[in-house]
Structure 1
Amino acid sequence: MKTIIPGICLLMSATLNTSAQFKDPRPVKPKPNIIVFLVDDMGWEDTSVPFWDQLTDKNKRFRTPNMERLAQEGVKFTNAYATPVCTPSRVSMITGMNAAHHGVTNWTSPHKDVNADAPDSMLDSAPWNQNGFSPVKGVPQTVYATPLPALLKTAGYYTIHAGKAHWGAMGTPGANPYNMGFLVNIAGHAAGHPQSYLSEENYGNMPGKATPQAVPDLEEYYGTGTFLTEALTREALKALDEPVSRQQPFYLYLAHYAVHVPLQADKRYYQHYLDIGLDAAEAKYASLIEGMDASLGAVMDYLTTKKIAGNTVILFMSDNGGLSLAPPRGGAPHTQNLPLRAGKGSVYEGGIREPMLVKWPGKTKAGSVVQQYVMIEDFFPSILEMAGMQLYDAVQQIDGRSFVPLLEDPAATDSLRALVWHYPNKWIPNGGPGINYKSALRQGRWKIVYDQVQRRTELYDLVADIGEKRDLGAVYPDKVQALLTMLSQQLQQWHAPMPIDKVSGKPLPWPENRR
């Protein structure tokens, strides 16, 4: 039975009549367009933009004028992090969850139910979500969550995917960007790298030679001499014409396959790097970087031409640290990201610290720098806040924190926040510095690295020792124990997967129970 209070009805009626007669004269500000420009395997130093307190020789090697332009117009984050390999980062960005929480801790095979872990004589694989992310509940060995693009689409955004997806295996919903809430998909599927960057090789789609890594959807560019990076850029900008023409806010996720292997020369830039003395491998790599930067420039020029740059947010990020295996890189192994230690696959800084730039006209102060550390899962709540979505319905617990306040106050700091990395997997057979079966936690200036197999810890002061050369564990044992306990408790709270001992059949112990 309903109770009606006449006074309230009268008040509501008066309110409705008043609102009909007197409209708010202030114009409603349109939602900002949002572009995520994601690069694959790009290191923190693979740019002419310095993300340290000094310009390094590596910075001088690369030509990235459009990254320089974006940094001059926006905010540079010098302590931005992702995960050691690609799929965990991509799943974290689209779900807002830490990798230890969503359980997609390694890169996913394009084939369903195939474990990408390298074999190990002592350990069975951790029970990680090897089929990746699923927007549909009940898919085996996946994490179920509400994807970011689907939420943006419900808020009126025209959602476009271009480039590398790599969220889930073929035959699962996570393989298809359309299932994520994208209205347009250009070249995104289950594979994590291109079979070929070359149009002369049809981007891998040669009769009798195609593999799951062959890049789809780009037939009109076959044999035209158009490098993959440029083809993706052209198609992404074509797709933008639709929402721009009707003044609909858009979300463009432009996720380049560059600079992932295979290292193939972008001929527009390759000769320059040979001329300055780089070997063939490094010249190819540098040409991929410059081609990626040219794509960023084309996107920024498009926004200016269409007169929408003033209401478009651009977020630039890489999904993991630069590759440091040699070959295919030139030079000595694990030196390519110096002064950072190691590279892709490692929980040391070279494997997880990324170049990150954000421009939000009217919000960001041109040329500002944020030193506060942030993590890739932070993109999820940040983008939703940029879109004006304070309330949204997501099935997962969000681990990320919005970095929008840092755009408004770049000097703000939070030394109590803890970032967690967890890699209970075997990426490559012979390992390397910080690679295979490692976890790490950063709080403030301190970082602890934990070897899950040897059950050893290392402690570093990242402010004084960015290269992680001096293990201070013996000097600060109380700090080691405090951070180790924090890491262990967080992993347990998230039910993080751990490798399985073949002899006992049990998971390896949590960090604080290592003895």
Structure 2
Amino acid sequence: MNKLLALLPFVFFWQPASSKNKQEKPNIIFFLVDDMGWQETSVPFWTKKTKLNERYQTPNMERLASQGMKFTQAYACPLCSPSRVSLMTGMNAARHGVTNWTLRKGKSPDQQHEIFGAPDWNLNGLSPVEGIENTCVANTLPSFLQEAGYRTIHVGKAHWGAMDTPGEDPLKLGFDVNIAGHAAGGPGSYHGEKNYSAVWRNGARIWDVPGLEKYHGKDINLTEALTREALTEMEGSVAKNEPFYLYMSHYAVHAPWEKDKRFYQKYIDQGLTDFEATLASMLESMDQSLGDILNKVEQLGIEENTIVIFMSDNGSPSQCPQNLPLRGHKVSPYEGGIRDPMIVRWPGTVQPGSATNVPVIIEDFFPSILEMAGVRKYGQAGGKVDGKSFVPLLKQKNVNAMKRDFVWHFPHNYDFEPYSVIRRGDWKLIYWYKNGKSELYNIPDDIGEQNDLAEIKPQIAADLKSRLGEYLKKVQATVPVDKRSNKRFAYPGRN
């Protein structure tokens, strides 16, 4: 399915970089963590500290939060590839059509179901060129930054396009440098002694992390190896007097859950189980990477001209401790699947130690980063970007998001049955395709989503369902097939 939005010609505009010395452009570091839940940090993103905040030790996240702004209602998609494509394109997942995780060309991970047939989704992911079946063709964030004079550096997990398609290669998506990025969404192993390969575990090569051969056979965790490579690239950019965009996209803390020996034992000594201590060590390993990067920024003398953004791509998996008070986990439509820790440090712009409760979503990073970089005019295939810049929030300007619609779309049978979600103001509606049932929650009053108000507030539920259906219809969102009738399920509401 090459949706209409993905067809060339592209509709976009670009304003060239100003005549200022390129040193004056801010460096931008996007530090993205994989599968990290909202509470898996010692930084509290709720109104009070939780049990998990007390368990985990992330001092460098604390450091970053003290120097920047916390976003307490930052949202991503419920799983990885959709979030990453939204970040790269500024489009909502319902629009770009990459609504599940990608890997093998032409194959969907959807599980068999007696009622649901798999939707005709963009299972081959993001593509820089037309002509590849089931892809979203789009202009990417790093390609715009390249045009604006940035050196664009990718380190870590990519997971934008299926194997044997151009979208699996970050170098074809606007990056000047690619370290360890390919089609797979997880590493074979975190251990250098195992060559970052799963062959030791199950014989599979598809998960092997590429390009890190110099660390093979050595006692070095994958997270540390990637950090070393990122630091080298930062040094090179500064030496060449080039502004850089570093996309530090860690595989951590995605499965396989393998301990970082530098941090594991102290959690065992605190009485945690092996799994709990392993996860805690992986989180602290990630945090150590953040600290190493912040230290390098200081050592290079670029702190005042470097923006640092921290975010996770979805909620914590079901195997991990529940991120209370949130309900649900990765893949689910509940807050535990989509609400994530987010921090932004921008010296001279962001008030240190500040916080905002205004909701933002993953596609907002696209226009926000471009605005930070001075790229003022841009567009996307089909002429539409769903994301809204959160730069005004960083500048402490009043932003009223009460009338903005936030949409999540998961038309698959994979861990959960198909659903779509809309949040508008305080209200959030979850629509299940199987029976047309809706759940309605007032998020500020009920962050744990325990009190379904759909029957008590039928007019609010009906209005949200209608708005959700109208948006999905407008963007031609794909939906599953009903095997009983061999027809597509209808959109929510009266559409």
Q: Which residue, 178, 189, 193 being the options, matches 1:185?
A: 178
Question: CA distance change for structure 1 residues 60 and 192 in 2, over 3 Å: closer, same or farther?
Answer: same
Q: Deviations over 1:374-405 (max 9, x none)?
A: 00000000000000000135434110000000
Task: Select the structure of larger CA radius of gyration.
Answer: 1
C-alpha contact 2:199 2:205 (8 A) present in aligned 1: no
Q: Deviations over 1:289-348 (max 9, x none)?
A: 0000000000000000000011001110000001123xxx4xxxxx51111001001010
Letter in 2 for 1:197: Y
C-alpha contact 1:187 1:218 (8 A) present in aligned 2: yes
C-alpha contact 1:67 1:293 (8 A) present in aligned 2: yes
Q: Deviations over 1:460-494 (max 9, x none)?
A: 01001100000111221110011111101001001
Q: Which residue of 1 aligns with 2:150?
A: 157
Do structure 1's residue 74 and structure 2's residue 68 form an aligned pair? yes
Q: Deviations over 1:25-55 (max 9, x none)?
A: x988711000110000000000000001111
Query: Comparing 268-277 with 286-295, which one deviates more in the overlay?
Result: 268-277
Runs of 4 or more, structure 1, over 6 Å off, are: 26-29
C-alpha contact 1:427 1:436 (8 A) present in aligned 2: yes
Q: 1:201-212 alignment to 2 at 5 Å? A: 201-204=194-197, 209-212=203-206
**Which ranges of structure 2 fall in alignment gaps of 5 or more residues?**
1-18
Q: Matches of 1:239 and 1:471 in 2, distance apart?
A: 50
Letter in 2 for 1:83: C
SS in 2 for 1:212: coil
C-alpha contact 1:43 1:322 (8 A) present in aligned 2: yes
Q: Which residue of 2 aligns with 1:17?
A: none
Letter in 2 for 1:121: E
Q: Which residue, 377, 392, 395 being the options, matches 1:408?
A: 395
C-alpha contact 1:35 1:313 (8 A) present in aligned 2: yes
Higher relative contact order by CA 8 Å / sep ≥ 6: 1 or 2? Answer: 2
Do structure 1's residue 115 and structure 2's residue 108 form an aligned pair? yes
Q: Which residue of 1 aligns with 2:273?
A: 279
Query: Comparing 237-246 with 57-66, which one deviates more in the overlay?
Result: 237-246
Q: Matches of 1:490 and 1:394 in 2, distance apart?
A: 18
Q: Which residue, 418, 426, 444 being the options, matches 2:405?
A: 418
C-alpha contact 2:22 2:149 (8 A) present in aligned 1: no
Q: Which residue of 2 aligns with 1:482?
A: 463
Q: Matches of 1:465 and 1:413 in 2, distance apart?
A: 21
| C-alpha displacement of 1:502 | 1.1
| C-alpha displacement of 1:209 | 3.4
Q: Matches of 1:30 and 1:392 in 2, distance apart?
A: 21
| C-alpha displacement of 1:454 | 1.6
C-alpha contact 1:152 1:159 (8 A) present in aligned 2: yes
Q: 1:194-273 alignment to 2 at 5 Å? A: 194-204=187-197, 209-273=203-267
Q: Matches of 1:79 and 1:485 in 2, distance apart?
A: 24
TM-score computed with the length of structure 1 as normaliser: 0.90
SS in 1 for 2:431: strand
Query: Comparing 504-513 with 161-170, which one deviates more in the overlay?
Result: 504-513
Q: Which residue of 2 aligns with 1:65?
A: 59
Do structure 1's residue 427 and structure 2's residue 431 form an aligned pair? no
Q: Matches of 1:217 and 1:470 in 2, distance apart?
A: 49
SS in 1 for 2:24: coil
Q: Matches of 2:92 and 2:239 in 1, distance apart?
A: 37
Q: Deviations over 1:71-94 (max 9, x none)?
A: 000000000000111000000000
Question: CA distance change for structure 1 residues 202 and 365 in 2, over 3 Å: closer, same or farther?
Answer: same
Q: Matches of 2:107 and 2:95 in 1, distance apart?
A: 21
| C-alpha displacement of 1:411 | 5.3
Q: Matches of 1:336 and 1:218 in 2, distance apart?
A: 34
Q: 1:385-400 alignment to 2 at 5 Å? A: 385-392=371-378, 394-396=380-382, 397-400=384-387
Q: How many residues end up aligned between the 2 structures? A: 475
Q: CA RMSD in A?
A: 1.6
Identity of aligned residues (%): 51
C-alpha contact 2:427 2:443 (8 A) present in aligned 1: yes
Q: 1:33-182 alignment to 2 at 5 Å? A: 33-109=27-103, 111-182=104-175
Letter in 2 for 1:118: Q
Question: CA distance change for structure 1 residues 410 and 228 in 2, over 3 Å: closer, same or farther?
Answer: farther
Q: Which residue of 2 aligns with 1:431?
A: none
Q: Matches of 1:123 and 1:323 in 2, distance apart?
A: 23
Question: CA distance change for structure 1 residues 29 and 234 in 2, over 3 Å: closer, same or farther?
Answer: closer
C-alpha contact 2:327 2:334 (8 A) present in aligned 1: yes
Q: 1:438-477 alignment to 2 at 5 Å? A: 438-477=419-458
C-alpha contact 1:78 1:371 (8 A) present in aligned 2: yes
Letter in 2 for 1:271: Q
TM-score computed with the length of structure 2 as normaliser: 0.93
